[in-house]
Structure 1
């Protein structure tokens, strides 16, 4: 049977991709953030997952404001990154695992969700940057990708509870998968930031620490605020915490925090990284 080994939660700021492309990982501005991935690299080297299920938000690459699904799940044999105008391009392909994608889709639909099913799908910086952070020296990515996009852009947005329930359904599908793969779940985006309007540059350290302090021990605490309240607290892009909420739910109840890192600002964003390990990984 498959094993859900753990979860990686991280920011996906395009500026991080530019820093990687320019080799700025040791630059004083970027080093505190990149150093937070050292425990992640050690954990990945030890666990060696085979599949990455990634909860993220699309930034207009596949879906624009005229056609924005609440949830979309990739079921393609391969995915490619395409630059959205940031001047970064990551050429390595992302191999898919369509059979697992369809099992997830079937469980999600059985759980009364209605995702868009994408047998062709591009991925933007919300997937590409975390993969480059996790496997910086890989000639080819060592994991197969299942991308799950959550709308955090066009209102009305899904509620935190709805995203939690989506994650629970995905977790059920992963535990029912009859393959022997080790699975890492990723939640990308955030934390607090707003890129436009009168509150451009908005950060909320207290809310960010509230999320990080409760993500593992009391994830339902993150459901206390409505989506619009999260926008008020964390900024219009800080609502990407919905991706973290869904990813955390997929891990199940029995897990522990391995490491965390928090650094501000990174390109007007409160950048964070957390590594969580499940009991399944310890006993596997």
Structure 2
């Protein structure tokens, strides 16, 4: 049977992708960021997944402000990187896994979650930057990826509890898939940042690290944190962190930390990163 044993969490700052694409990743400013992922790249080689479910948000590239689904699952065979206004990133086409995606869609919808199903979609930096951080510059991504978009761009965004519950439904769906697959689930976005207004450039390192602590040890309590707390403490774009709860929900209640990294700054935000492994239950 398919199994989720590991989850990965990371910021998806667009400037990180640009730094890598333009060969600036060895410059002192950016090297501190990329050094935090050296362990992760080696770890991925040693724990190569068969499929990744990657939770991210589209930034009005595939979905315009005219139509934004709350949750959208990529069920296609492949997904092209989108042109976000300065040309497509020089990264490989993302290969999907239509069979597992269709199974997840059927299971989760029968579990009373309303998903938008996308047989065709483009993916932006929200999805490609995490892949670059974890796998580096490659000619092709090492495994298929199932994109799961969450609307955190236009309010109302889903609650933390809804995201955690969706992750649990995805975990049940994967566990019921009749093929021996090693599946990873990734939660991306955040951490604290605000891109506009008088608080532009806001970074709250204390809140970020407390969020990481709670995500690891007490996701149920974290899921009850209201949106206004994210906005007040982590900035208007800090709401992206609810997507990490989708990935955490697919894991067991108790986990081990394989890697933890936090760095300020990267562009005008903080970078957070975790690798979690399920504790084996008796």
TM-score range, shorter chain: over 0.9
TM-score normalised to the size of structure 2? 0.95
Q: Residue 178 of structure 1 aligns with which residue?
A: 178
Do the aligned residues in 1 keep the contact of 2:57 with 2:151 (CA within 8 Å)?
yes
CA distance in 1, matches of 2:139, 2:21: 15
How far the C-alpha of 1:137 sits from its partner, in A, is: 4.0
Measured after TM superposition, the shift of residue 227 of structure 1 is 1.5
CA distance in 2, matches of 1:236, 1:161: 19
Deviation per residue, 1:167-219 (Å, 9 max, x gap): 11111111111111211111111100000112111111121011111212211
CA RMSD across the alignment: 1.6
Which residue of the partner structure matches residue 274 of structure 1?
274
Structure 2, unaligned runs of 5 or more: none
Equivalenced residues, count:
282
TM superposition outliers: structure 1 runs of 4+ over 3 Å: none
Match of 1:112 in 2: 112
Query: What does the per-residue CA deviation read over 1:2-22, in whole Å, with 9 as the maximum and x for residues that have no partner?
Result: 221311111111100111012
**CA distance in 2: counterparts of 1:248 and 1:24, whole angstroms:** 32
Cross-structure match for 2:34:
34
Unmatched 5+ residue regions in structure 1? none
* 2:45 alignment counterpart: 45
* Pairing of 1:112-261 with structure 2 (within 5 A): 112-261=112-261
Offset at 1:220? 1.7
Superposition deviation, residue 87 in structure 1? 5.0
The answer to whether the 8 Å contact 1:82/1:123 transfers is yes
Distance 1:273 1:170 in 2: 22
Partners in 1 of 2:174 and 2:223 — Cα distance?
23
Are residues 1:5 and 2:24 paired?
no
Structure 1 distance, partners of 2:97, 2:82, is: 20
In structure 1, the residue matched to 2:264 is: 264
Q: Deviations over 1:106-160 (max 9, x none)?
A: 1221121111110001100011111111111432111111111100011111111
Q: Is the 8 A contact 1:90 1:128 kept in 2?
A: no
For residues 206-249 of structure 1, the C-alpha deviation after alignment (integer angstroms, 9 at most, x for no partner) is 21011111212211232232122211211111111011111111
The worse-fitting range, judged by mean Cα deviation, of 64-73 and 252-261 is 252-261
